[in-house]
Chains A and B, each alone.
Chain A
Amino acid sequence: MIEWIVSACILTGAALMFLAALGIFRLPDLPTRMHASTKAGALGTSLIMIGVAFAFMDVAVTARVVAVVTFIMLTAPVAAHVIGRAGYFVGVPLWEGTVKDVLRDKYDPKTHHVESGLEEVEGPPKPITYGMAECPVLQERDEFEPKKSDPGG
């Protein structure tokens, strides 16, 4: 029984990875290649690791497997985002079958500023809670000023 589960996990995982590699080989441009590679690759690795957990049936191994799967699921999209964004802004050409591209004219490569396109529609932007570019320490912080006592008491 366990053997069948392990076999199914390994075979599905390996097949997914093979499809990811085939996708990276065949697909026409960078973002579509990343669609195939990152997610199928992450799911494939996770499935093989789950197969390992089933094969050993041991607490220490299972703990490590959970760590690996969590780590992969957390980092794969972040890595995909970083490379996809860098590739897009460096100017990698998109496939000619691309039907729509709303981002290209909203990006300023000098300042790395990205317009949302909603500035006119929704009025002033939302207050930014904490961002890397807008460090709150460097801005005015009037919430730390002592408040005036209101006249009502």
Chain B
Amino acid sequence: MINPLIVNIAYLMLLSGLLFAFIRLTKGPTLPDRVVALELMASIVAGTVGVHTIETGVASFLDIAIVLALMAFLTAIGFGRFLELGGPRDD
């Protein structure tokens, strides 16, 4: 099995990445910034699920990663349409 130290280092990097993305999500001056941060958070969580799959050896966790990737894409498309139909603005 894989070295637990490496798994923990990977978790640490992913979690600090999640933290940075979350700061951008709360701070982000405009709505598109927040959407980008949300999308990055989804893909970081998908990566975390992948690392967890390797750590536990349960292959079924991969399905969660698939669903997460799908949902993130749909969210991005939805927000994009929403923003664009809203027209120009200056917030």
Judged by CB atoms under 8 Å, the answer to whether A and B touch is yes
Query: A residues engaging B (CB < 8 A)?
Result: 3, 6-7, 10-11, 13-15, 17-18, 20-22, 24-25, 30, 33-34, 37-38, 41-42, 44-45, 48-49, 51-52, 55-56, 58, 60-61, 64-65, 67-68, 71-72, 75-76, 78-79, 82-83, 85-87, 89-92, 109
Residues of B with C-beta under 8 A to A34: 36
Contact of A52 with B54 at beta-carbon distance under 8 Å, contacts A18-B17, A65-B62, A109-B88 already known: yes
Task: Tell me if B84 and A51 are in contact (CB < 8 A).
Answer: no
How many residue-residue contacts, CB under 8 A, span A and B?
179
For residue B91, give the distance in angstroms from its CB to the closest CB of chain A.
Answer: 9
Across the interface, B40 reaches (CB within 8 A) one of A7, A24, A65, A78, namely A24
Top 6 nearest A-B pairs by Cβ distance?
A82-B80, A21-B17, A87-B32, A79-B76, A86-B83, A21-B20
Taking CB atoms, residues of chain B closer than 8 Å to A71 are 66, 69-70
Q: Besides A30-B32, A30-B36, A58-B59, 14 other CB < 8 A contacts?
A: A10-B6, A24-B24, A25-B23, A30-B30, A33-B33, A37-B40, A49-B62, A51-B50, A56-B59, A79-B73, A82-B77, A86-B83, A86-B84, A90-B83
Tell me whether B59 and A21 are in contact (CB under 8 A).
Answer: no
Distance (whole angstroms) from the CB of B5 to the closest CB of chain A: 9
Decide yes or no: A85 and B84 within 8 Å by CB, A14-B14, A24-B21, A64-B66 being known contacts: yes
B37 CB contacts on chain A under 8 angstroms: 24, 37
Interface SS of chain A: helix
Interface centre among B10, B21, B35, B79 (most CB of A within 10 A): B10
Question: Which of A51, A58, A65, A86 has its CB near the most chain B CB atoms (within 10 A)?
Answer: A86
Q: Report whether A21 and B3 are in contact in the complex, using a CB–CB cutoff of 8 Å.
A: no
Q: How far is the CA of A72 from the CA of B67 in the complex (A)?
A: 11
| Given A30-B36, A51-B54, A52-B50: A11 touches B10 (CB 8 Å cut-off) | yes
Mask: chain B, 8-21; 1 = CB below 8 Å from A; 0 = not = 01110110111111
Complex Cα spacing A82 to B31, Å: 14
- A44 and B14 alpha carbons, distance in the complex (Å): 10
Interface pairs (30), CB distance under 8 Å: A3-B2, A7-B6, A11-B9, A11-B10, A17-B13, A17-B44, A18-B17, A21-B18, A41-B39, A41-B44, A45-B43, A48-B51, A52-B54, A56-B57, A61-B62, A64-B59, A68-B65, A68-B66, A68-B69, A72-B43, A78-B73, A78-B77, A79-B39, A79-B73, A79-B80, A85-B80, A86-B81, A87-B83, A90-B31, A91-B88
